[in-house]
Amino acid sequence: MSTETEKQGKPQSLSLFLGCVAPNRYPGIELASRKVMKDLGVDLHELEGASCCPAPGVFKSFDKTTWLTMASRNVVLSEQMGMDLLTICNGCYGSLGEANLTLMHDPDYKAKVNEKLGEVGLEYKGNAKVRHIIEFLEKDVGPDTIKEKVTVPLDGIKVAVHYGCHLIRPSKEKEGLGSAENPRFFDVLVDATGAKSVDYEEKMMCCGAGGGARSAFLETTLKMTEKKLAILQKDEFDCIVDACPFCHLQFDSGQVQLNKEGKDYHIPVLHYSQLLGLAFGYTPQELGIQMNMTTNSAFEEKVLALQQKAKEA
Amino acid sequence: MTDPVSSSEIDKSFFNELTREKGMDKILLCFNCNGCSTGCPMKDIESKFDIKKYIRMAGLGMKDRILNDEYLWYCTTCYKCQERCPEGVLNVDTLLRMRTMAVHEGIMLEPHREVAHFVIDTGHAVPINDSNRKKRLELGLTEVPPTVHMYPEAYEQVRKLLKACEFDTLTQKE
Ligand code: SF4
Ligand code: SF4
């Protein structure tokens, strides 16, 4: 639906699916997403009464019909608004996207799910797409439009992009994102802010949190997380930029956890919407970046200096 | 090290049940190349978790060993293995289906039961708390998000659906 409206030159309208971790743990990510999309002329409509996507790791591991039913209810809310649904989280994108594709292509599951939905007066039709803010910005808005809106080029900020897993894999479910082993579409969006995405060892590695592993085996998952953190600290990256509040939580709270065991990590963790917000002139405070558990005053000063310079120019 | 397989462990009905789901029978195409395990970030840090082992055990129908193995729950679902398998084996999807089979036999880790109950009780796996209500207000957002948290009738719908799926009975606490 969205690409059609874009071609007609009308503002693009999408429903905003919040999920759990963004609104309930990192509200700065929700706020930043709302601000930057508005500045880019994208109309986001509230998906009133949406629930957990539901969490792919646990629900899909428990009962497939429950997972599909819960996910389809969220998609149906968007169908009823006549809009595609925008996620700001890889987990939500993976869960809702896969559920949506399954129901579109598997009449048996569709019938089963509609029987459940019927009990609360809903019906899944299969006419709304599930989008992710990163692939939407890359395909439907484009880095050039973003560049035009940048008022504070983030010169000299060295960014470690963390794609996360469910933004790109399983690749057979994702359309037109290029290589899953060595993708570029997210890096391009980071570079559009004036910051520089720099490649690093283990760039495509998982954060460690997914699949229910974080909730059951936190310490083990942090070993995976730390592999990446150690590389980024050694190579003096200014920040990690992610596309998923759950990866965000793992990197942000993970550093605090590791520091309790005698480590000394202090790498700022930003959702792409927050990085973009900085380039659009919002202060770190206005984007809730200081509400992270891992804070880093040197990064904040660097950004504020860039914003001051832009104001004077 | 893994104990040798004894023929008494082989349960054909488990294999049949597993492969009722579309695409799962591809596990029979596995020729043991180890590609899936080589790319696995979890195996790198916890060598007892080995995705290839589960695919091979599934092909043999080793029900008890698979369903009772806590390491079945170590996979982060990063899908690297599934991308790499030259035979198109659905490594992760198969592993997840085996997890659902464990859960339907009553085998579930306590932290996962808790997450399930957050969803049953609130509609969110990670519900709002006091400190985040405050953060939302400080940022100028509504105190709770416009989700099931704001609309009780929407939560009621979710609760009914979970009941219709018998998810509450499935995840019942002892
Ligand atoms: S999906 Fe699971 S088994 Fe496969 S590579 Fe990732 S962690 Fe390993
Ligand atoms: S990559 Fe595929 S064929 Fe190779 S061991 Fe793993 S499941 Fe078997």
Task: Answer whether residue B51 shows pLDDT above 60.
Answer: yes
In a domain, B2, yes or no: no
Tokens of A142: 């484009």
B23 and B95 inside one domain: yes
Per-residue confidence (pLDDT) for residue B10, from 0 to 100? 87
In a domain, B165, yes or no: yes
B116 and B135 inside one domain: yes
Domains and CATH numbers, chain A: 4-132 (1.20.1050.140), 143-312 (3.40.50.11810)
B19 and B97 inside one domain: yes
Domain boundary among B77, B105, B133: B105
* Closest residue to atom 2 of ligand 1, CA basis: B75
Mutate to test the interface with A, among B71, B147, B153 (most CBs of A within 10 A): B147
Per-residue confidence (pLDDT) for residue B120, from 0 to 100? 97
In a domain, B115, yes or no: yes
Mean pLDDT of B120-140: 98
How many domains would you assign to chain B? Answer: 2
Q: What is the DSSP string of chain B?
A: -PPPP-GGG--HHHHHHHTTSTTGGGGGG-----HHHHT-HHHHH-TT--HHHHHHHHHHT-HHHHHT-GGGG------HHHHH-TT---HHHHHHHHHHHHHHTT---HHHHHHHHHHHHHS-SS---HHHHHHHHHTTS-SS-SBTTT-HHHHHHHHHHHHHTTHHHHT---
Task: For residue A49, list chain B residues with Cβ-Cβ distance below 8 A.
Answer: 146-148, 150-151, 153-155, 157
Question: Which ligand has the nearest atom to the CA of B81?
Answer: 1
Closest CA to B107 of B54, B135, B69, B133: B69
In a domain, B131, yes or no: yes
Per-residue confidence (pLDDT) for residue A1, from 0 to 100? 46
In a domain, B47, yes or no: yes
B41 and B67 inside one domain: yes
B32 and B78 inside one domain: yes
Mean pLDDT of A63-91: 98
In angstroms, the CA B78 to CA A207 distance is 9
Q: How remote is the CA of residue A238 from the centroid of ligand 2, in Å?
A: 39
Mean pLDDT of B90-113: 96
Share of chain B above pLDDT 90, in %: 91
In a domain, B29, yes or no: yes
In a domain, B1, yes or no: no
Give the number of beta-carbon pairs within 8 Å between A and B.
206
B19 and B87 inside one domain: yes
In a domain, B129, yes or no: yes
CB pair distance less than 8 Å for A51 and B151? no
pLDDT in tens, A145-154: 999 999 999 9
Per-residue confidence (pLDDT) for residue A51, from 0 to 100? 98
Per-residue confidence (pLDDT) for residue B9, from 0 to 100? 87
B63 and B97 inside one domain: yes
B159 and B97 inside one domain: no
pLDDT in tens, A16-74: 999 999 999 999 999 999 999 999 999 999 999 999 999 888 899 999 999 999 999 99
- CATH number assigned to the domain comprising residue B66: 1.10.1060.10
Per-residue confidence (pLDDT) for residue B6, from 0 to 100? 86
Domain range for B58 is 7-105
Q: Ligand 2, residues B24, B25, B31: which to mutate, most atoms within 8 A of Cβ? A: B31
List the single residue in A62, A69, A213 with the smallest CB-CB distance to B103: A62
CB pair distance less than 8 Å for B22 and A106? yes
DSSP state of A10: P
Place A171 in a pLDDT band, splitting at 50, 70 and 90: confident
Average per-residue pLDDT in chain A? 95
B92 and B142 inside one domain: no
Tokens of B33: 């190349």
**ipTM of this model?**
0.96
B140 and B167 inside one domain: yes
Domain boundary among B105, B137, B163: B105
B101 and B130 inside one domain: no
